[in-house]
Amino acid sequence: MKSAIFSISALLVAALAAYADESASALRMSYDFPAAVAKAEAALEGADSLSLPALEEELMLCRNGLEMMNFCTHPEVISKYVFPVAEFHLYYPLEDRCWRPVPNQLDSVADESLVRAIYFPEDAHCVYYSACDAVGSRNLYRSEFRDTLWSAPALINETVTSSYNEIYPMLSPDGKSLFFASEGLFGMGGYDLYVSHWDESIQDWGVPQNMGFPYSSPYDDFLFINTPDGKYSIFASNRECSSDSVCVYVLEQDVNPVHGRIDDVERLRELAALSPEGNASIATHARSSALPQNGKVAEYLDKLSYVRSLRDSISACNDRMNSMRERLSSVSGEDASSLRKEILNMELSLPRGKAKLDEAVRELQKTEMEFLANGIVIDPEKIRRESDRQAVGTDSGFTFKKHEEGPALDIRVEVPVPEFDYSFKILEEGQFADDNTLPEGLVYQIQLFSLSRKAVLKDIKGLSPVFERVSSQRYVYSVGLFRTYSEVLKHLNSVKKQGFRNCIIVAFQDGKPLGVNTARKLESKVKTIYKVRINPPDGKSLPDMAKTVVGQMCASSDIVRLMDGAVVVFDVSPIDERNRAEELVAALKAAGISSCEVLEAGQTRVE
C-alpha cells in the first residue's frame, strides 16, 4: 500500500509539474516573460528527475525572453502578408530562379515544416546553406566554385553552430553580415534571428547576436534579408499564422538600430505584432467586410491563397515547359540534352502539383460548406478580388511579386576526404600514414625494416599507421605514435607476431631521432595530458547522467562542446593520467553512454 501511495504521489507531482510547465510555456508564447519565469521556477520545486530537464529548458527560454526585453527596437513597418509555407520564399525581392528545390546535392533532406528550398543564384560562385549533419541536425555550410566543381561542404565555424538546427543563411548585400535562424543559440524558443559580422582580424565570422524584438519572438522567425537598395528589411514568421502559412514582414531598414527596454507586456505584444502604421486593415490577408472577422475567415483566406498560388505555379510550369519545347527545336548537343532533362523533371513534378491542388480545392470547398451550414452566404469572387490586393504600407509603393523557382541543382561537388586515424591498429589491409611528419614532443615508434625500394601494402602486413622516412638512400619504415615507453612496449610483441621479429623501439624528440634510454630519462620530465571524447546519444546534448559521472570522477576537468567535422562531441579535459581517463570511460559506459574514448590532449613539462 505504501509503495502504491508513493507511486500515485509521484504521478501527481509529475502531472502538476507538467501543468505548470505548460502554463509557463503559454505565458512565454504570449510574451509575458516575467510571469512565465515565476511559473517555471515554481514548477521546478518538487519536480522529479524525469521532468527536470524539460522544466529547466523551459525556465531557460523564459529567462532568455525576460533578458531580451532589454533588446527592443522600433522599426517602421511597411507591409506584411500571409503566404503558404511551401512557397513564401518565392515572394522575396531576390533574383528570379534563385531558389532551388530540395533535396539536392547540397541539402539531401527536404524539411516539410519550413525548409523547402536552397538559395542558389545562377551566377553564384560561393553559397551558404543549411543541411543535415550525420545525426540529423541542420548546420550551416559554405561551398565555393573551383574551376570545374564545387568545394566540399565546410561548416562555417563553431560560434554559429548549435546542437539543434540552423536554417536559411543569407548574406548582406555587402557580404559583411550573415543573417540566419537558429533554435539552439541564446533565444526565446522556436527559431530566433541572428546576425554574425565578418571579423577581418581573424578572417572568420564573429559571435552571432540575437537580433532581439521585434525580429525574434517565442515563435519561429527566419529568412531575414536586407534589400540591396538599402530600403527594406524582410523576414518571415509564423507568430500569427496557421501551421501551413507564414507571414512575411517588410520593415524600413534600420541602419543604426537603437535598442531599449520595454517593461510593459502589452507594449511588447504590440511591437511583436508589427502592424503597418495607419494600414492595419491590410496587415494580413485582406479581409472581406461581408464576413465576420474571426479565425475561420482567416483560415478560409489562407486556403484560398494557397489554391491560387498552386494554380499559378502549375500554370507557370506549363508556360515554361512550352517555352522550352519551342527552344528545343533550335538547339543541339549538350544544350538540347540539358533542356530535355529539365523538361522531364518538370513533367514529373506536375502530377504532384496537381495532386496538391486537388487536395487544397477539396479543403477549400469543405470550409465553404461549413459557412453555408452556419447560414453565412459568401461571395468567393468578391473575397478573391479583395485578397488579390497587394499588402502595402502607407505610400510605400512596395508590392509582393511571385518569382519563378529555379531548376533542380545539377552540380559536381568535391567529396570530403576523411581524416586519417593515427591510432595504432592491426587491420586486414595495412595503411601508410597520410602525413609522415612526426608530432612535436617525445614520440616512440616501432621500427619494422629498411629497404632500398619503397614498401608496398603487402610488406606492412596489416599494420597502421606506417611511417616512411629516408636515411642513407634507404627507405625506413616504422609503425605507431606512442607517448610513453610502457605504451610502445605493450604493442611490441603484437608487431613481432605479425612477422616482424627483428623490429625495435625507436624514439624521437620534436621529429629528431633520440636514443631510447635518453628518451626514457626525458619522459620522466614530460607528462602527457589526456581527454575523454563523448559522442552524445541524441547527437545534440550531454545527458545529465554523463555530467554526474564526470563531476564525481573528474571534478577538476572541464566539459567542452565541440564540432568534430559535422558531428557534435563533448571533450572532458584535462585528465593527467591515462588510467583515470580509462576509468572515466568505463564509468560512462556503465551509465549507458556507449560512444566515448580516450584521446591525447598534449604534453606538459614536469619541473
Q: What is the pTM of this model?
A: 0.58
Cell readout for 504 is 625495435
Task: Spell out the residues 6+ positions from residue 365 whose beta carbon is closer than 8 angstroms to its own.
Answer: none
Whether the per-residue pLDDT at 303 is higher than 70: the answer is yes
For the chain, percent of residues with pLDDT exceeding 90: 38
What would the mean pLDDT of 117-129 be, rounded to a whole number? 92
Whether the per-residue pLDDT at 606 is higher than 90: the answer is no
Instruction: Return the amino acid letter for 51.
Output: S
> What's the pLDDT tens digit per position in 383-422?
554 444 434 333 455 778 888 899 988 888 887 777 788 9
Higher-confidence residue: 554 or 236? Answer: 236
Rounded to an integer, what distance in angstroms lies between the CA atom of residue 205 and that of residue 198?
Answer: 5
Higher-confidence residue: 377 or 65? Answer: 65
pLDDT band at residue 317 using 50, 70 and 90 as cut-offs? confident
The predicted structure's pLDDT at residue 513: 95
Task: Spell out the residues 6+ positions from residue 388 whose beta carbon is closer than 8 angstroms to its own.
Answer: 286
Alpha carbon separation from 513 to 148, 442, 450, 470, 477 (Å, rounded) = 44, 10, 16, 13, 14
> What's the pLDDT tens digit per position in 438-487?
998 899 999 999 999 999 999 999 999 999 999 888 999 999 999 889 99
Whether the per-residue pLDDT at 38 is higher than 60: the answer is yes
> How confident is the prediction for the chain on average, in pLDDT?
82
The predicted structure's pLDDT at residue 286: 33
Other residues' Cβ atoms within 10 Å of the Cβ of residue 100: 24
pLDDT band at residue 376 using 50, 70 and 90 as cut-offs? low
The predicted structure's pLDDT at residue 566: 58
Whether the per-residue pLDDT at 1 is higher than 50: the answer is no
Query: 373 φ, ψ to 5°?
Result: -65, -25
Q: Over 335-373, what HEC string results?
A: HHHHHHHHHHHHHHHHHHHHHHHHHHHHHHHHHHHHHHH
pLDDT band at residue 281 using 50, 70 and 90 as cut-offs? very low
pLDDT band at residue 17 using 50, 70 and 90 as cut-offs? very low
What would the mean pLDDT of 541-556 be, rounded to a whole number? 83
Dump the DSSP string for 487-539. Answer: HHHHHHHHHHHTT-TT-EEEEEETTEEE-HHHHHHHHTTEEEEEEEEE--TTS
pLDDT band at residue 555 using 50, 70 and 90 as cut-offs? confident
pLDDT band at residue 16 using 50, 70 and 90 as cut-offs? very low
Helix (H) or strand (E) run with residue 458 in it: none
Beta strands in 228-270 (DSSP E): 232-237, 245-252
Higher-confidence residue: 179 or 392? Answer: 179
What would the mean pLDDT of 423-451 be, rounded to a whole number? 94
Other residues' Cβ atoms within 10 Å of the Cβ of residue 289: 9
Q: What is the DSSP letter of 114?
A: S
Helix ranges (DSSP H) in 275-332: 295-328
Nearest to 183 by CA among 12, 366, 57, 294: 57
576 alpha-carbon distance from chain centroid: 34
